[in-house]
Amino acid sequence: MSSTISSKTNVGIERGPREFVARGSVVRKIWGDPEVVLLIFAGSAAEFALNRAVDWLFFTGRIPSDPFGRLFSTVRYAREIVFADEEAARRTLARINAAHAGVEASRGQTIPEWAFRDVLYMLIDYSERARRMLYGPLSRREREELYAVFRRVGEGLNVKALPPDYESWRADRRAHMERDLAYGKHTALLYDSYRRHLGEWRYQLLLQVQALLVPERVRRLLRLKQRAVFSAAVEVYASLPLPGLRPLLRRLLMQPRYWGEVAELERAPA
């Protein structure tokens, strides 16, 4: 009798589309948190400027002309993947691949495969670093989960021969930073663009955030200096008990032209 009831109960139940990242995943928590996402891109902005393939960012002129507009555009792509079902995420990955192919066709060159790998590795590393800065370190299981999700993203972007697990990835990440990062003329040009678009005091704040967030090699190449006073201020910010205060501070730290983008970032993903 019970088996009959059970079978009848299950009749007609349809499962929805499979999600690209499971609900409750630490990756959703990271990419659903406005502060953490902004920190991810503060760190990435530093390392992007040092990458030996940074000249590709200058080819279309869109990065130096509006670096933070491009940042928010990248955020939208990332969230379209993290908070989507499998099919929708695959469509977004296909759009990214098509955009890269279009740039390559325009320039008549191929973006180096290692450059795609470097960008993927940045997103993994700064996801972990940004989360740790505000909420403490990830567990071993969460680190493996973070890497597993972005490994699938990398496969969707046709990045070949990715390491099988988190620990193998850490070793490859260190090797890529040693080989692929250098201070060059495009580094200085990109930082000049950051200064123009942020204004002086916001720019100095960005440098302080980056000094706390980036790996030692990046900090050394950019000559970023950590300051104990700023580190203490970040700890205070992380413990702020007033939920209404953080949105005000986020807007204070961005130019008014980007407040609409910040509001979009604050909206809970569907």
pLDDT at 105 over 50: yes
The reported pLDDT for the residue numbered 64 is: 65
* H/E segment holding residue 13: none
pLDDT digits (tens, 9 = 90+) for 22-45: 999 999 999 998 889 888 988 999
Split at pLDDT 50, 70, 90, the class of 63 is: low
Q: How far is CA 228 from CA 128, 187, 235, in A?
A: 22, 26, 11
Q: Are 190 and 227 in contact (CB under 8 A)?
A: no
Instruction: Return d(Cα 250, Cα 266) in angstroms, integer.
Output: 10
Split at pLDDT 50, 70, 90, the class of 110 is: confident
Least Cα distance to 191 among 70, 45, 19, 82 occurs for: 45
> Between the CA atoms of 73, 78, 80 and 83, what dihedral angle is there, to the nearest 10 degrees?
-140
Q: What percent of the chain stands above pLDDT 90?
A: 49
The reported pLDDT for the residue numbered 270 is: 60
Q: Are 111 and 119 in contact (CB under 8 A)?
A: no
pLDDT at 248 over 80: no
The reported pLDDT for the residue numbered 106 is: 86
The reported pLDDT for the residue numbered 262 is: 77
Helices (H) and strands (E) in the chain, counts: 16, 0
Mean of pLDDT values over 249-260: 76
